[in-house]
Amino acid sequence: MAETTVAIVTGAAGGLGRATTEALLGEGHRVAAFDVDHGNLSDLAGQYPGDLQLVEVDVTSAESVDNGMASVVEELGPPAFLVNIAGTNRIAPLAETTDELWDLLIDLNLKGTFHCCRAAAPHMRAAGGGRIVNMTSNMGMRPEAQQVAYASSKAGLVGLTRALALELAPDNITVNSVAPVMTLTKRVAGLPEWWKDLQLSKIPFGRYGTIEDTVAAVMFLLSEGGSFFTGQVLSPNGGDFMA
């Protein structure tokens, strides 16, 4: 494992991204926050001067990711951790899933993670190791109707994770996924009530997931306790599905 404690979090200004960024900073890591809009992180930048780098990155663009990675390496050093959280969701039946909607979800949820993994891996390899955590979803493991594009993008992340885990294991790089059940982030709160009620009815614990549930799973995989986990899907889901 590389000695450096530089972490990159994508989608860092979202609810889950910010919470993960805070957790990493709280443990003494230096964090590069990748996002297209860092408005939700301005206060953290003031609290952690020198330890939090706000980097404007569009993960759907390979050029933007590569430029952002170069900035991180120059300013903070090579990344030891990469947490890919950038993503979005839309609910639409097949007949209403346009090419534009399909491309949006595949590009942001799957291709964006691919871009970031490809950019980070050489630096981790050169440094002697690293940890990658990709944010998938219970929908990637237990798909639902009217989620064809979203479920496809998140299932693709599971395949990406497992293939990269095999490829990068000789370089002492772990690659895992976290697959939370529906979590009431600001983005999810805006989804239709009928949809949220349906998801809640499927969770044996009788509650939605929390951001803290998911962050705890991420931080475990980045900890020494997670050092022998790779190619795995860790799912804080209250019994929503069991694999």
Catalytic residues: 150
DSSP annotation of 36 reads: S
70: which 2 tokens?
Answer: 């170069």
H helices within the chain, ranges in order? 15-26, 42-47, 62-75, 99-105, 112-127, 138-141, 148-168, 186-189, 193-201, 211-222
Residue from 144, 165, 166 nearest 155 by CA: 144
In this structure, the number of other CB atoms found within 10 A of the CB of residue 86 comes to 26
Torsion sign over Cα 66, 11, 20, 151: negative
Give start and end residues of each alpha helix (H) in 41-145.
42-47, 62-75, 99-105, 112-127, 138-141
33-65 in b/e form (b: 16+ CB < 10 A) is bbbeebebbeebeeebeebbbbbebbbbebebb
Tell me phi and psi for residue 205, to 5 degrees.
Answer: -70, -15
Q: Determine contact, residues 179/235, Cβ cutoff 8 Å.
A: yes
